[in-house]
Amino acid sequence: MSMKVLYFAWVRERVGKAEEEIVPPEGVGTVAELMDWLAGRGEEYAHAFENRRVIRAALDQAHARPDSPIAGAREIAFFPPMTGG
Amino acid sequence: MTVRIQREPFDAAAEAKALTAGRTDIGAVVTFTGICRGSDDGAPVAAMTLEHYPGMAEAEIERHVGEAGTRWPLLGVTVIHRVGRLLPGDDIVLVVTAASHRGDAFAAAEFLMDWLKTRAPFWKKEERPGATGWVAAREADDTAAARWESGTGT
């Protein structure tokens, strides 16, 4: 099923786009697995996801963990640790 | 409860007044304003640009305002966060809490700011002489937020 992926801050700058529609292949079941798959899509993605441990994710606009299942989510976002306030 | 994300400046005094207008049960209002500094770790900062995740940013702030309401008997909360390009001296964020007593208002304001800094999806990019770069998250902010997880406050 297709899902919308959003990128913010330096993740967005490295990927080179703010959002896209993707269809994760079979076997990509968690946030961490999706990052692994994205990292293999090209140089810019490899650069954006080279240090996956620092990248945070949100599923349908709620914070998620690396082992969170992505099944059923319509929107997933990747971003660096937050620095607001 | 009011949560707003906006490019425009805010008026802290007017927002505080709006919370108490026509009420006599409020005995304490705490107003916190976060301001863009002209230097960071001794290095000058010319400007900063705040990016956010529309939708999630509002939802995340509202979640924490709701959480604050379960911890302290609050009579009003306003949170305003600015986005876009800000200059040193510009206001960035406003948290106003109202309660019958000052202890609850102080604690709730600090709780909200600690969570805003670590959980609300905003990112700062600083412009320094000759370079721009994303601000790195501070461990001290995580520590400040984590202390609320025990549920005992400070």
Interval A17-49: pLDDT, tens: 999 999 999 999 999 999 999 999 999 999 999
Q: Which residues pair with B28 in a beta bridge?
A: B99
Residue B154, pLDDT score? 43
Average predicted confidence (pLDDT) for chain A: 96
> Which residues of chain A from 6 to 65 reach within 8 Å of chain B, CB to CB?
6, 8-10, 58, 61-63
Is the pLDDT at B153 greater than 60, yes or no? no
Q: Model pTM?
A: 0.93
Is the pLDDT at B129 greater than 60, yes or no? yes
Segment A63-67 shows an average pLDDT of 96
Q: Which residues pair with B39 in a beta bridge?
A: B44
Q: What is the dihedral of CA B100, B104, B109, B112, to 10 degrees?
A: -120
Q: Does B124 touch chain A (CB under 8 A)?
A: yes
Query: Where is pLDDT greater, at B141 or A58?
Result: A58
- Identity of the residue in B55, B81, B136 whose CB atom sits nearest the CB atom of A84: B81
Answer yes or no: do A85 and B93 touch at CB < 8 A. yes
Cα–Cα distance, A77 to A59 (Å, whole number): 7
Q: Which of B4, B45, B56 to mutate to test the interface with A (most CBs of A within 10 A)?
A: B56
The 3 state secondary structure assigned to chain A is: CCEEEEECHHHHHHHCCCEEEECCCCCCCEHHHHHHHHHCCCHHHHHHCCCHHHCEEEECCEEECCCCECCCCCEEEEECCCCCC
CB B47 within 8 A of CB B88: yes
Is the pLDDT at B1 greater than 80, yes or no? yes
Is the pLDDT at A12 greater than 70, yes or no? yes
